Structure 1
Amino acid sequence: MDVIVHELTEDHFTPRDVPDFGLPEPVYAQALDNLVQANVDVIVHTGDDQILLGYRKDLPLRDMFWVFGGRMKVGETMADAGARALVRELGLNVDRGRLGFANIYNVMWGTRSAPPEERGFQTLLTLMKYRCTEEEAESVAVADNTHQSVRWHSTTEIRELHTSGSELIHPFLPIVLQNAGLY
């Protein structure tokens, strides 16, 4: 079944430039306490059973492997947000024809980077998939401060980490990979 996303924009909506992080930390923390964040994450994979994961620096996924993405900006489509995240985090300019929707999740995280960390936050997470070419796969690298490192993993390796109870794999990762048909 194909996923159809209907993105509606009124004629009088005014697009505007929004900085990467446009709120002072106390205001951002207050927003996390009171609003559900819209996020887009992208599973970058190859046709031969390889999934690219980043070793995260920040909460809620600090010291774990995860996919790439983040908050949507005002005026962005989901594809815009996913493509922007891949450029920002990996230096990867994507072919939008290979960027597709996987699933949507309502995620309630137990921790967050803005104090108080233990307060957690909630996101409406749109998960997308991007199948890399060989050239793209060879070109990816850490391009910002989100990840300490990035590395290709086989689904077998991810399964082994998961079944061994490794703390490197967040319990949600196998779920989103399986639901995306990649696990």
Structure 2
Amino acid sequence: MDGRPVRARPPRTIREPLLGEPSVHELAECDFIARDVPDFGLSEPEYARALDHLVQANVDVIVHTADGRLLLGYRRDLPLRDMFWVFGGRMKPGETLAGTASRILARELGLEVEKDRLVLDAVYNVMWSSRSVPPEHHGFQTLLTLMRYECAEEEAASVSVADRTHEWIGWYTPDELRGLEAAGSDLLHPFLPVVLRNAGLL
């Protein structure tokens, strides 16, 4: 202890309801100050050092339609370069899960979502063997919260590549993805069929 009195601060519960929510509790002390943090505010060496020493918190979203079509992006960077994946990224300090999901869908797809339609699916502890900053072979680890968002038809027609995360995006049926999986396609990272099946979408 440094001699300063310890002040008990009552927690503030943040509520942005997530459908299918089994037990998600987001707490913030009343005097927590949210900061405006840029998406990529660290230099490559700083980011690499952070990945070497910290587990990253990510939120990814499976975007789908009521008839079962799945929206996937063809990724530019490691660990998913030249493969399909869903949409997501790092949480920022002060964000809720729904806040991260909605920010990322707006950034990557130009999709302004209704937060109360985001569905919590599962949490994965993911260890990637490669990463986008050197040394690439060091890999990194993420605590990944996976969510689902069912697009209305007009939303599905409006999505597009809105930043540099993906070279292109496309809608796929479960049968098409099962065909790629059966053929051993390099387009599918081995984790993708796992998370889609666990979500009941493949």
TM-score when normalising by structure 1: 0.98
> Aligned with 2:101: secondary structure?
helix
What displacement does 1:8 show? 0.7
1:179 aligns with 2:188: no
What displacement does 1:4 show? 2.3
Q: Deviations over 1:38-89 (max 9, x none)?
A: 0000000001110000000000000000000000000000110011010000
Which residue of 1 is the match for residue 119 of structure 2? Answer: 100
1:139-158 matches, within 5 Å, as 139-158=158-177
> Aligned with 1:9: secondary structure?
strand
Which residue of 1 is the match for residue 39 of structure 2? Answer: 20
The answer to whether the 8 Å contact 1:15/1:75 transfers is yes
Which residue of 1 is the match for residue 106 of structure 2? Answer: 87
Aligned pairs, number? 183
1:57-96 matches, within 5 Å, as 57-96=76-115
Distance 1:135 1:3 in 2: 30
Distance 1:73 1:91 in 2: 19
Q: Which runs of 4+ in 1 moved over 3 A?
A: none
1:129 aligns with 2:140: no
The answer to whether the 8 Å contact 2:21/2:119 transfers is no
> Aligned with 1:165: secondary structure?
coil
Distance 1:3 1:93 in 2: 25
The answer to whether the 8 Å contact 2:109/2:159 transfers is yes
Distance 1:142 1:136 in 2: 14
Quick one: which amino acid aligns to residue 49 of structure 1? G
Quick one: which amino acid aligns to residue 184 of structure 2? G
Structure 1, unmatched stretches of 5+, are none
The answer to whether the 8 Å contact 1:3/1:102 transfers is no
TM-score when normalising by structure 2: 0.89
Which residue of 2 is the match for residue 166 of structure 1? Answer: 185
Structure 2, unmatched stretches of 5+, are 1-19
Quick one: which amino acid aligns to residue 61 of structure 2? V
Please give the root-mean-square deviation of Cα atoms over the aligned residues, in Å. 0.8
Which residue of 1 is the match for residue 49 of structure 2? Answer: 30
Larger radius of gyration: 2
Distance 2:42 2:113 in 1: 28
Which residue of 1 is the match for residue 13 of structure 2? Answer: none
